[in-house]
A and B are shown apart, each in its own frame.
Chain A
Amino acid sequence: MNKKLMLAFLIFALVIGISALIRLSDDNSEEIETRNEGTYQSSPQNQINNLVQGNANQDNVNIENLNQPNTNIDNTNQVNTGGISLYELASHNSRNDCWIAYDGTVYDITSFLPKHPGSAGAIVPYCGTSSDFENAFSGQHGTSQVSRLFREGELMGDLI
Chain B
Amino acid sequence: MNLEKFSKPVLRMGLSLVLLWFGFQQITSPENWAGFIPQFIISMGTAAKTMVIGNAIFELTLGLFLITGLYTRFASALLGIHILGITISMGMTPTGIRDFGLFVASLVIFLNGPDKYCLDKKFEKNSYK
Task: Give chain A's interface residues, CB within 8 Å of chain B.
Answer: 3-4, 7-8, 11-12, 14-16, 19, 22-23, 26, 113-115, 117, 119-122
Asked if B15 is an interface residue, CB under 8 A from chain A, the answer is no
B65 at the interface (CB under 8 A from A): yes
Bound together, the chains give a CA A4 to CA B118 distance in angstroms of 12
Q: Are B28 and A22 in contact (CB under 8 A)?
A: yes
A113 to B29, CA, bound (A): 15
CA–CA, A26 and B28, complex, Å = 8
Interface size on B, residues (CB 8 A): 27
Q: Which chain B positions have C-beta within 8 A of A19?
A: 27, 53, 56-57, 60
C-alpha spacing A23/B29, complex, angstroms: 9
Instruction: Determine the chain B residues whose CB is within 8 A of the CB of A119 once the complex forms.
Output: 25, 32-33, 35-36
Of A14, A117, A122, the residue contacting B95 (CB under 8 A) is A117
Closest 9 CB pairs of A and B: A114-B35, A121-B32, A117-B95, A119-B32, A15-B60, A4-B123, A15-B61, A11-B64, A120-B35
Add 10 more A-B contacts to A11-B65, A22-B28, A23-B53 (CB < 8 A). A4-B70, A4-B120, A15-B61, A19-B56, A22-B27, A23-B27, A26-B28, A114-B34, A119-B25, A121-B32
By secondary structure, the A interface counts as helix
B residues in contact (CB < 8 Å) with A: 25, 27-29, 31-36, 53, 56-57, 60-61, 64-65, 68, 70-71, 93-95, 98, 119-120, 123
Min CB distance A108 to B, Å, is 16
State A119–B25 Cα separation when bound (angstroms).
10
When C-beta atoms are compared, the residue in chain B nearest to A145 turns out to be B94
Q: How far is the CB of A7 from chain B (nearest CB, A)?
A: 6
CB-defined contacts of A113 to chain B, threshold 8 Å: 35
Q: List 27 A-B contacts (CB under 8 A).
A: A4-B70, A4-B71, A4-B119, A4-B120, A4-B123, A7-B70, A8-B70, A8-B71, A11-B65, A11-B70, A14-B64, A15-B57, A15-B64, A19-B56, A19-B57, A22-B27, A22-B28, A23-B27, A114-B36, A115-B35, A117-B94, A117-B95, A117-B98, A119-B32, A119-B33, A120-B35, A121-B32
- Which residues from B are CB-within-8-Å of A26? 28
Bound CA–CA A113/B95 (angstroms): 13
Q: In the complex where A8-B65, A12-B61 touch, is A117 in contact with B93 (Cβ < 8 A)?
A: yes
CB distance from B55 to the nearest CB of A (A): 11
**What residues of B have a CB within 8 angstroms of the CB of A122 in the complex?**
32
Please indicate the chain B residues that have their CB under 8 angstroms from the CB of A115 in the complex: 35, 93
Q: Which chain A residues border B56 with CB–CB below 8 Å?
A: 19
Smallest CB separation, B74 vs chain A (Å): 9
Complex alpha-carbon distance, A120 and B29, angstroms: 11
